[in-house]
């Protein structure tokens, strides 16, 4: 079974149960032990996962982990677990550049987790434009 490394450090009990159920349903083994050495992660089968909205204290950690995973060629998928009604959570800056975002109730959630499609959704499944990543010309 492929591993899904959860890049958040803090979840409430409901969000933790939701993300674990989603990942297990997609055939992944949810893991919270994010390796510091990316060579132990298989870029062909394993993924990084971020639960959104993220708590403010996790934003820096998620950015660092997302960039490490993306730099090693490992897909990162951010899942909107719910809307941020209190305005206390956020979206790490790295998500717009290095991850695909999908709502937990989206019809393309499973194909996105399995790498069959890339989508960029807002909470509730509303589509947003694909982010433009500026590349330097060599």
For every one of its 138 residues, what pLDDT tens digit does the chain have, with 9 covering 90 and above?
899 999 999 988 899 999 999 999 999 999 999 998 999 999 999 999 999 999 889 999 999 999 999 999 999 999 999 877 665 567 898 988 899 899 999 999 999 999 888 765 555 555 655 554 555 566
DSSP helix/strand/coil, 116: coil
Is the Cα torsion angle 19, 22, 26, 30 positive or negative in sign?
A: positive
DSSP symbol at 74: -
DSSP helix/strand/coil, 111: helix
CB 121 within 8 A of CB 80: yes
DSSP symbol at 4: E
CB 128 within 8 A of CB 95: no
**CATH level 3 topology of 2-125:** Rossmann fold (3.40.50)
Look up the pTM and report it: 0.84
């Amino acid at each position: 079974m492929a591993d899904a490394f959860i890049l958040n450090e803090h979840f409430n009990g409901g969000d933790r149960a939701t993300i674990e159920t989603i990942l297990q349903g997609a055939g992944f083994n949810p893991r919270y032990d994010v390796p510091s050495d990316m060579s132990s992660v298989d870029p062909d089968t394993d993924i990084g996962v971020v639960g959104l909205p993220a708590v403010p204290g996790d934003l820096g950690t998620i950015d660092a982990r997302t960039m490490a995973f993306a730099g090693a060629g490992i897909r990162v998928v951010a899942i909107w677990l719910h809307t941020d009604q209190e305005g206390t959570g956020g979206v790490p800056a790295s998500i717009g550049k290095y991850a695909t975002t999908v709502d937990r109730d989206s019809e393309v959630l499973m194909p996105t987790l399995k790498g069959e499609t890339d989508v960029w959704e807002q909470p509730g499944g509303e589509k947003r434009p694909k982010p433009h990543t500026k590349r330097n010309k060599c």
